Amino acid sequence: MITAYIALGSNLQNPQQQLHHAIAALAALRDSQLLQVSAIYRSPAIGPGEQPHYLNAVACIQTELDPEALLDALQAQEQAQGRRRELRWGARTLDLDILLYADQVIDTPRLQVPHPAIQQRNFVLYPLADICPANFVLPDGADLDTLVSNCPVGELEKTGLQLQ
């Protein structure tokens, strides 16, 4: 069994409900178990034009799916929840990204793990740190607590909303 961390994001069509559906799908994912889900965070969209704020969260699963099969399942869920081919960095009903897959480093045309944006994005780092074990270290040796203290909280807000 592999422990994997998945980032969830939505800024269209009732984002809170989108995240709830996505968590239900992760809980039902074959050959996998949902272990933990962070609180929901709200932040201004990084991306072009005027966009609604995002809701973000991070989930931890245990899985026997290999990385590509996990990615297939996540992309199928994005499609099931109405994600359309969109503008780069445009608004979306649901984004599901594999942040970490055990301590594996994966670099294929389809999949980069650890997710390349982890270190710069407060809406990924803060919820990730909520549910990671203490003194967690990323595959490149970076210490999660240090990354969090170097990443300004800015306009990121922890909401009182829970998904589990």
Query: CA-to-CA distance for 45 and 100, rounded, in angstroms?
Result: 23
Closer residue to ligand ROI in complex, CB, 4/78: 78
- Residues paired with 43 in a beta bridge: 54
Q: Which of 2, 13, 20, 95 binds ligand ROI (CB under 6 A)?
A: 95
Q: Is 47 in the site for ligand ROI (CB under 6 A)?
A: yes
From the list 30-38, 40-48, 71-79, 138-146, the region that binds ligand ROI by CB under 6 A is 40-48
97 catalytic residue (yes or no): yes
Closer residue to ligand ROI, CB minimum distance, 97 or 144: 97
**Active-site option among 83, 84, 88, 130:** 83
DSSP state, 92?
Answer: -
What is the H or E stretch that residue 100 is in? strand 95-101
Q: In the annotation, is 83 catalytic?
A: yes
Query: Binding of ligand ROI at residue 43 (CB under 6 A)?
Result: yes
Which residues fall within 8 angstroms of residue 42, CB to CB, at 6 or more apart?
Answer: 53, 54, 55, 56, 156, 157, 159
Residue 33 CA to residue 3 CA, distance in Å, equals 10
**Site residues, ligand ROI (CB under 6 A):** 9, 43-47, 54, 56, 89, 95, 123
